[in-house]
Structure 1
Amino acid sequence: MCADVTVLGLGPMGAALAAAFLAAGHRTTVWNRTPGKADALAAQGAAEAVTATAAVTASPLTVVCLATYDAVHEVLAPMAGELAGRTVVNFTSGSPEHARETTAWAERHGVRYLDGVIMTTPSGIGTPDALLLHGGPQSVFEDCRGTLAALGDPVHVGTDTARPSVYDTALLALMWGTLTGWLHGAALVGADGPGGNATATDYTEVADRWTRTVRTFMNAHAPDIDSGHCPGADFPLRLHLMTMDILAHASELRGVSSGLPELFQELTGRAVDAGHGDDSFARLIEFMRKGGPA
């Protein structure tokens, strides 16, 4: 377990990471390229390093949260020798290519490296439900899991350090899709205005319970996607399409326009027209993939 930790980068997220480590009782060293950002953390017990090199040599684990991967390389490259044998967990936002390039650099210099993404805002850091994804050697992750748990829920998604970045964008798609669908629903139930069918708060209480069923659908359909076998059972695509038509009609009548019903109809309609009306919702993934069915 990496009891001592260094944090490089004290923007809003980096500062939140350092504060969470401190709150969990870890001896925390901090450094930022722009002076003056460590004052509040120092008041909480953090040790401010004058140089990045002094910061990384103070702890076996360094957590990096900078603006760009270019900044990461600018900071880390001059002290590759000092980092050899130490662990770096990089939470800087970037692409899968950035992650793989940085991994290659770390391997050349003997740095134990994990690439990660943070699936919350700074205010969520340190809470049990804050999801943090990590990619890289399982052994490196296990060595630091206890320390990383101070930030939230650390999850290892595989040895490929590019995977957290891919998951990041995929989970954002889920978030925006869910929130947009929720907004569409709130607009539908509130279309009559104050005193109408329901408030957004009333609707959301029911929607929150409904998400349990949606999770059941996702877990049931995931093996279908992996196997390519998508039996429709009691809710095949042709019934989905009929229900989508009802949603589109209701939305039109109540003046709600998000584009979602039309998207659902177009995508599902293509699958049904291609002969997949008796398949499950999972079959639609083939009509989303580039080069898939037209």
Structure 2
Amino acid sequence: MTENTADTVSEIPPTAHPAPLTLLGLGAMGTALAGAWLAEGHPLTVWNRTAARAEPLAARGAGVAATAAEAVAANRLVVVCLLDDASVEEALDGADLTGKDVVNLVTSTPGTARDRAARVTARGARYLDGGIMAVPPMIGVPQAGPYVFYSGSQELFEEHRATLAAPAGARYVGADAGFAALHDVALLSAMYGMFGGVAHAFALVSGESVDPRALAPLLSSWLTAMTGSIAATAGRLVAGDYTGGVVSTLAMQVAGVPTFLRTAEEQGVSTELLTPYFELMQRRLAADPDRNGAEDLTGVVDLLRGRG
């Protein structure tokens, strides 16, 4: 694993002469990116399978290429923001990538990103993979906090850093091309876990005279307070000691599981969102009686990795 050289989001001031670039793909995210680059004065060439999508951008000064290969030929820096990996493969198939700098912003798996990097570099280009941590309305709005994870060629990242940071902050996470996708999916996985818990909470109260709008700020503030445990979990994983500074022990939390399950039963709510995690907690506690339940929930990570 290479050392990260940009462990904070990079906000780069506009350059005196914004660099030209090509953008393949004008869906909602691609259009937002294009608008941000045009607003910063970057000469932009765009291509989209449905040509009509390019018309508003052409009116703002973007050049419109008839084919993906023509768009790639127009500039050294080529950003790809298409629907899926198959679309990327198809778009780049007939293009000459020799000497190009390809930045792929299509959400993929770490393995797919590594494979793409190998194929692109074999065709004479440098490669950078990206994971966008934003929705289209956040692009070009720094105060909204958008940023993109980048991994792959560090030289490419440093050379084009100002351009890449124009629509959203830029965070380099390593030379391994799969790391951007890995970070992206890790954060999104945690998000969906939170959404699952929120759905269960609303389901519990939905049959009662509880206004969900009144519960919402309580949920938000409670979840925000609980994020303090994230850094502690990371520290315990590094230290290998899951018992240091524990406030709520695993034994204590497992003892409370029946209350959660009975409450759901009384409210007529399925426990399918909670049961898998509770079962992991119980397995961890039962796996080693010598621990005496003194650790916290960090050991669940080991179970998910097939350890512990």
TM bracket (short chain): 0.7 to 0.9
For residues 1-294 of structure 1, the aligned pairs below 5 Å read 3-80=19-96, 83-128=97-142, 129-192=145-208, 196-197=209-210, 199-231=211-243, 233-274=246-287, 275=289, 276=291, 277-289=293-305, 291-293=306-308
C-alpha displacement at 1:40, in angstroms?
1.5
Counterpart amino acid of residue 253 in structure 2: H
Deviation string for 1:169-195 (max 9, x for gaps)?
A: 322321211011012112234431xxx
Higher-RCO chain (CA-CA 8 Å, sequence separation at least 6): 2
How far apart are the structure 2 equivalents of 1:18 and 1:269? 50
Task: Tell me, yes or no, if the aligned pair for 1:244 and 1:261 is still in contact at 8 Å.
Answer: no
Divergent runs of 4+, >4 A: none
The alpha carbon displacement at 1:114 in A equals: 0.3
Distance in 2 of aligned mates of 1:67 and 1:3? 25
TM score, norm. by length of structure 1:
0.87
CA shift for structure 1 position 250: 2.2
User: Shift in Å at residue 238 of structure 1?
Assistant: 0.8
Q: Could you tell me which amino acid in structure 2 is paired with residue 104 of structure 1?
A: A
Residues 200-255 of structure 1: per-residue CA shift (max 9 Å, x gap): 22222122222332221011111212332211622110112123332222222222
CA deviation profile, 1:72-117 (whole Å, cap 9, x unmatched): 233324333xx33332111123332321222112322331210112
Counterparts of 2:63 and 2:52, CA distance in 1 = 13
| C-alpha distance in 1 between matches for 2:277 and 2:65 | 54
CA RMSD of aligned residues (A): 2.3
Q: Which amino acid aligns with 1:263?
A: P
Q: SS state of the match for residue 61, structure 2?
A: coil
**What 5-or-longer segments of structure 2 have no aligned partner?**
1-14
Contact 1:62–1:88 (8 Å) recurs in 2: yes
Call closer, same or farther: CA 1:23–1:76 in 2, change over 3 Å.
Answer: same
Q: Secondary structure at the match of 1:3?
A: coil
Q: Is the Cα–Cα contact under 8 Å of residues 73 and 95 in structure 2 kept in the other structure?
A: no
Q: CA deviation at 1:271?
A: 1.1
Specify whether residues 16 and 258 from structure 1 end up closer, same or farther in structure 2 by C-alpha distance, changes over 3 A only: farther
Question: Which secondary structure does the structure 1 equivalent of 2:188 belong to?
Answer: helix
Q: Which residue of 1 aligns with 2:7?
A: none
One-letter code aligned to 1:115: D
Checking the alignment, whether the CA contact within 8 Å between 2:264 and 2:271 is kept in structure 1 is: no
For residues 73 and 54 of structure 1, the distance between their equivalents in structure 2, rounded to whole angstroms, comes to 16
Q: Give the Cα–Cα distance (whole angstroms) in 2 for the partners of residues 40 and 177 of structure 1.
A: 38
Kindly state the Cα deviation for residue 68 of structure 1 after the two structures are TM-superposed.
Answer: 3.3
AA aligned to 2:220 is: D
CA contact (8 A) 1:135 1:163 kept: yes
Q: Secondary structure at the match of 1:84?
A: coil
Alignment identity in percent? Answer: 36
Alignment coverage as a number of residue pairs: 286
Distance 1:280 1:264 in 2: 14
Q: Secondary structure at the match of 1:260?
A: coil
Q: Retained in 2: the 8 A contact 1:244–1:264? A: no
Task: Give unpaired runs (5+ residues) of structure 1.
Answer: none
